[in-house]
Chains A and B, each alone.
Chain A
C-alpha cells in the first residue's frame, strides 16, 4: 500500500486541479501557471539527466523542445483541422481526444531522433566543446524553422487552439492539463527508474570518472547516446504540451534564453537530484509569476538571486541528494523499491 502512496497522492492532486479547472474554481491564469509548472518539471528534470547526472554541459535544450513542439503541432493541425496548408482534416476532429497523446509521443520521438543525431558526432567531446555544439544545434533548429515558410517561418505557427477545442467539445474537460499531469508523472517515473537502475547508473559513472567507467565495461558512448536521446525526447514532449497550452508557437519561444531558463532551474534545484528539479521547477515558475508586477526589474532580481545562490549554496537547493535523504523520516511513507 505504502509503495503506491506517492502515486495516489499525485493522482489526488491532479484530480483536484483538473476538477478545479473544470468547474471554474481555478481561473484561466492560474490554470496556465499550473500547466507551466508541469512543463517546466519535465524540461528541468530531463535536462538534469545530462547536466546533472551525466555531468555534461548541454545548453540547447530549447532546440529539442522546439522540434517536439513543431512536430506535434503540425501533426495535430494536419490530422484534426482544416488548414490552408494541409487541407481538410485527416481524421474526425473529435478523434483528437484519443490521438493527442500519440501525436505528443510522435513529437517526443522526433526530438529524441534529433537528440540522437546530435549525440552521434558529439559523444567524443566533453565540457566546453559539447556546450558549443548544443548551442549551435539550438540555433540551427531555430533558424531552420524560421526559414520554412510552410509552417509560418518567423511568424509562428498557430491553430492548436482549435485542436484543444475539438477535444473539449467531445468531453468537456481541461484536456491539456490532464495530459500535462500525465506526462509529468511519466517523465519522473522514467527518469527515476533509469537513474536508479544499475544500467542507468552507468551515466553517473561517466560523470564521476569516465575512464574508469569505460575500463569497467560500461559502454560510455552508448550511455551518452541513451541519456541524450531520452533527455531530448522528454523535452520534445514538453514542447508539444507547451504548444497546446499557448495555442501558438514561434521560433522566438525556443531561443537560447529558454535554454538558459531551463539550465537555471537545473542549477537552482541541484545537479543530480530529481526531487530538487521538481522543487526548483515549481518554485522558479511561481517566483517568475509573483515577480511579474516588477516587469523589467524582475530580470534584475532573478539574476541577483542566482548570484546569491551561487555564492552561498553553489550545489543548488538539494545538491545531489533526494528529498528522502534530507528528510529520512519521509522514507517511512515513501519507501524506495526494495530488490
Chain B
C-alpha cells in the first residue's frame, strides 16, 4: 500500500480546471519529484494534499485513511509536513520559538494549564524546548537560537524552514520549490541537506522544483505536470529524454512560412 494516494483528483477554480484527473501513489521511503512549467498546478496539488483546498472530485488517502476535507492543522498532525515556495517563518519570534510553536499539536496541555502554570505545563514545556534545541543542533544552527529569522541569510532561513517542518515529526515531507531564489552554492548545500535528512529521519519526501539540477540530483522518480495533467512519468534520465517534457518546457518547433 502506498503511503500517500491521490485518486482521480479534479479541482476547479470557478470555471478553470487547475488539476485534471490526477493520480499519484507515493510509496514509503521514496524521494519523489513533481516538476512542470509555471502554472502547471504543482502548488495547487500541494495545497490540496495539505488541506488548504478541498478537491472538487477525487480521493486523497494517507496511510490508507482518507484525509479529504480535513483542516490543514489536522492533516499536519497526521504526519504530512510541508514548506512553502516563499519562506514563511514567524519573524517576530526567535529561531528557538519558531521550532517550539510547530510542536503545537502535541503540546499536551491547554489554555488552563498555561495560565495556571501547572506541573503538567512545566513538564511539557520543558520537553518542547528540549526537543526544539535538539533540532537546532541537528540543523547546526545552535548559535542562532536567540536570533530572529529575518536577520538570517537566505540559505539559513530555508534550512530553518525545513527544520521547522521536521519538528512535526512527519512521515512525509512536502518541499515546495526549496531551491527557489537560491545561489548555486546554497543549492549544493540544500541538496546535501535534503539527502541527509532523508537518511537521518527515514523520510518520504515529495519535492516540487523548477531547478533541474536539484531534481536530477535528488529524485528517484519524477512526474511531469502540465496544464493540470501528468504528461510523463519515470526516472530522471527517462524524463530528460522524453519529447513531451522537452516540448512542455522549451515549446514546440514551429516552421514559419515566409
Q: Which of B73, B109, B110, B164 has the most CB of A within 10 A?
A: B73
Partner of A204, one of B50, B71, B93, B116: B93
Q: Which of B50, B76, B115 has the most CB of A within 10 A?
A: B115
Q: Taking the complex as formed, is A200 at the interface, i.e. its CB lies under 8 A from any CB of chain B? A: yes
A residues engaging B (CB < 8 A)?
Answer: 189-190, 193-194, 197-202, 204-205, 207-209, 211-221, 226, 230, 272, 320, 337, 339
Complex contact B110–A199 (CB within 8 A): yes
Bound-state CA distance A209–B71 (Å) is: 17
Q: Which residues of A contact B126 (CB under 8 A)?
A: 339
Complex contact B115–A202 (CB within 8 A): no
Interface string of B69-88 (1 = CB under 8 A from A): 00111001100011010001
Partner of B73, one of A197, A200, A217: A217
Partner of B125, one of A194, A198, A211, A272: A198
Closest to B129 in A: A339
Complex contact A200–B114 (CB within 8 A): yes
Complex contact A216–B100 (CB within 8 A): no
Q: Which residues of A contact B84 (CB under 8 A)?
A: 211-212, 215
Q: Which residues of B contact A194 (CB under 8 A)?
A: 111, 114-115
Q: State which residues 185-238 of B face A: CB under 8 Å.
A: none
Contacts A193-B115, A219-B104 given; does A212 touch B88 at CB 8 Å: yes
Bound-state CA distance A110–B168 (Å) is: 37
Complex contact A201–B93 (CB within 8 A): yes
Q: Which residues of A contact B106 (CB under 8 A)?
A: 217
Q: How far is the CB of A223 from chain B (nearest CB, A)?
A: 9
Bound-state CA distance A156–B41 (Å) is: 61
Q: Taking the complex as formed, is B90 at the interface, i.e. its CB lies under 8 A from any CB of chain A? A: yes
Complex contact B121–A197 (CB within 8 A): yes
Q: How far is the CB of B26 from chain A (nearest CB, A)?
A: 19
Bound-state CA distance A95–B90 (Å) is: 50
Bound-state CA distance A337–B129 (Å) is: 14
Bound-state CA distance A107–B107 (Å) is: 31
Q: Which residues of B contact A230 (CB under 8 A)?
A: 111
Q: Which residues of B contact A204 (CB under 8 A)?
A: 90, 92-93
Q: Taking the complex as formed, is B122 at the interface, i.e. its CB lies under 8 A from any CB of chain A? A: yes
Q: How far is the CB of A228 from chain B (nearest CB, A)?
A: 12
Q: How far is the CB of B161 from chain A (nearest CB, A)?
A: 9
Closest to B97 in A: A201
Complex contact A339–B125 (CB within 8 A): yes
Complex contact A214–B73 (CB within 8 A): yes
Partner of A198, one of B72, B76, B89, B101: B101
Bound-state CA distance A332–B164 (Å) is: 32
Q: How far is the CB of B111 from chain A (nearest CB, A)?
A: 6
Q: Which residues of A contact B73 (CB under 8 A)?
A: 214-220
Q: Taking the complex as formed, is B103 at the interface, i.e. its CB lies under 8 A from any CB of chain A? A: yes
Partner of B114, one of A199, A272, A320: A199
Bound-state CA distance A337–B100 (Å) is: 17
Partner of B164, one of A199, A202, A214, A216: A216
Contacts A198-B104, A202-B104 given; does A216 touch B168 at CB 8 Å: yes
Complex contact B91–A198 (CB within 8 A): no
Q: Taking the complex as formed, is B13 at the interface, i.e. its CB lies under 8 A from any CB of chain A? A: no
Complex contact A209–B88 (CB within 8 A): yes
Partner of A320, one of B92, B104, B121, B125: B92
Q: Which 7 A-B pairs have the closest CB atoms?
A: A217-B105, A197-B114, A212-B88, A208-B90, A216-B102, A217-B76, A214-B72
Listed by A's residue number, 7 A-B pairs whose Cβ atoms lie within 8 Å are A198-B125, A208-B91, A215-B73, A216-B164, A218-B73, A220-B73, A320-B92
Q: A215-B82, A320-B92 are in contact. List 5 more A-B contacts (CB 8 A).
A: A194-B114, A199-B111, A202-B101, A219-B105, A339-B129
Interface string of B109-138 (1 = CB under 8 A from A): 111011111000110011011000000000
Bound-state CA distance A226–B168 (Å) is: 23
Q: Which of A199, A212, A272 has the most CB of B within 10 A?
A: A199
Q: Which residues of A contact B77 (CB under 8 A)?
A: 217
Closest to A193 in B: B115
